[in-house]
Amino acid sequence: MWNRTLVSAFFLIMSGPVQAVVSTGIDEDAKLPYWEIRSPGISLRLVQRLPDQTRGYFMARGFRSEDAEVIARSCVFQTIFRNESHKTRPDAVSYNLKEWTVLQAGHERKMKTREDWEPVWQAKGVDHAARIAFEWSLFPTRQVYRPGDYNWGMSIFDLRPGTVFDLRVSWRQYGKNHVATIPDIQCAPDIHPDTGAMQ
Amino acid sequence: MCAGYTSGYGGYAVMVCNGFRIFLCHFLLLLTYTVSAAEPGQTLPVVPQPFPAPEFSLKGEGGKQYRLSDFRGQVVLLNFWATWCPPCRREMPSMERAWKILKDKGVVILAINVGEDEDKVFEFTGQYPVSFPLPLDLDASVVRQYRVTGLPTTYIINPKGLITHRTMGSRDWDQADIIKQLLDMRQQKQGVE
């Protein structure tokens, strides 16, 4: 444990009424970098997904290669949100991705949710079964978790591979809104299919 | 308050603090790990207002038809899952063990696959052998009826056909307190007791 403590590097962020601890490291299962926020009652972890993983995943679920390419090069993270309040002071937690903000190069924008993507795939004529797989693979736009609940899903940040950005997240618990920022999240770089160069 | 800056690949954060700050930071870390290690027993969260479980009829393995109303009078553990969902895969072995304990005791497990065909599910059960029914919600109409927003989600339906509990995320379904909770529910005559 102390080894882990020593190699882990942390810092604190004042985040409205609660103090959140942000950390980063390598996810034990994915073997890829993660960014995590822990606050009394919740944890949120974003784990990089390689563009090649995402290409393969969506092509296996009926997406044409050009459509899978759009997703793969849009900065995808596996997202795990947990209501951990059952360990201390049980209370439900809710969030809405529409309230989260991506901060990159001085610009702010909202996340692209499953509802935002649906008309894109309809316009491109993506197969219904593939659209269902896409919808359910994405992190839910709104959610209420009771104590002990958690969920996984992909978040798509609509940024180029390798981009570094901050993410301002918010959630509601214990009758209050909580806000925290995870700084310097990095989209996984891509490997150019022709040259093998990192992008 | 500790100050921080980031450097290196992946934006690793490096703490810049000294004295009391270092102590405070390590204390918080220790607290985080200590709290994580002390995971209490899992429970099934109760829904505030039990409500009737929507009826459905879905085909499962080998074209077998599953209608929810056929299981009236029993406790139904209704799970929504998909093969690509890591926590769904994680809970399948414990669900199978729970099924072996519960199947002849008035508790039914129905694990509805969302949006995948029989071939995908068959391939999956090669790796994760399960013997409880796996109805297929090919067009995701049932999962929408149940207002599920993420997978896995599990509803517990009492013998009267009312949804009394809901969980999101995987559980160890063969844990003694969960098994007891499910068996106790067989005695319920009206709503949640």
Q: Which CATH class is domain B46-185?
A: alpha beta
| Whether residue B188 has pLDDT greater than 90 | no
Task: Enter the pTM of the model.
Answer: 0.79
For chain B, the structural domain boundaries read 3-37, 46-185
In a domain, A104, yes or no: yes
Give how many domains chain A has, as a whole number.
1
B residues 57..76 contacting A (CB < 8 A) = none
Do the Cβ atoms of A132 and B168 come within 8 Å? no
Mean pLDDT of A103-117: 94
Binned at pLDDT 50, 70 and 90, residue B30 comes out as: very low
Average pLDDT over residues A101-129: 95
Task: Summarize pLDDT for A127-165 with one digit per residue, the tens.
Answer: 998 999 999 999 999 999 999 999 889 999 999 999 999
The answer to whether B38 contacts chain A (CB < 8 Å) is yes
Average pLDDT, chain A: 88
Q: Mean pLDDT for chain B?
A: 80
ipTM over 0.85: no
| Chain pair A-B, CB pairs under 8 angstroms | 125
B73–chain A nearest CA distance, Å? 27
Q: Do residue B28 and residue A148 have CB atoms under 8 angstroms apart?
A: no
| pLDDT for res A83 | 95
pLDDT in tens, A35-47: 999 999 999 999 9
Is A57 within the bounds of a domain?
Answer: yes
Give residue-wise pLDDT tens across range B67-126. Answer: 999 999 999 999 999 998 889 999 999 999 999 999 999 999 999 999 988 988 999 999
Residue B115 near chain A (CB below 8 Å):
yes
For residues B169 and A81, the answer to whether their CB atoms sit within 8 Å is: no
| Average pLDDT value for residue range A160-183 | 96
pLDDT score for B38: 35
Preceding amide of A193 cis, omega within 30: no
On whether residue A66 sits in a domain, the answer given is: yes
Residue-range definition of the domain harbouring residue A164: 2-186
Q: Which of B11, B42, B86 sits opposite A164 (nearest CB)?
A: B11
Q: Which residue has the higher pLDDT, B69 or A3?
A: B69
Q: What's the gap in Å between the CA of B98 and the closest CA on chain A?
A: 20
Chain B contact probe: residue of A47, A126, A151, A165 with most B CBs at under 10 A: A151
CA distance B100 to chain A (A): 25
Give the rounded percent of residues in chain A with a pLDDT score beyond 70.
87
Find the range with the poorest average confidence among A30-34, A63-67, A93-97, B183-187: B183-187
Average pLDDT of span B2-22? 35
Look at A2-6, A64-68, B28-32 and tell me which has the smallest mean pLDDT. A2-6
Answer yes or no: is pLDDT of A109 > 50. Answer: yes
Check residue B27 and give its pLDDT. 45
Confidence of residue B15 (pLDDT cuts 50, 70, 90): very low
Nearest to B28 among A21, A24, A57 (CB): A21
Residue with the bigger pLDDT between B170 and A75: it is A75
* Secondary structure, 3-state, A162-173: CCEEEEEEEEEE
Is residue B2 predicted with pLDDT exceeding 80? no
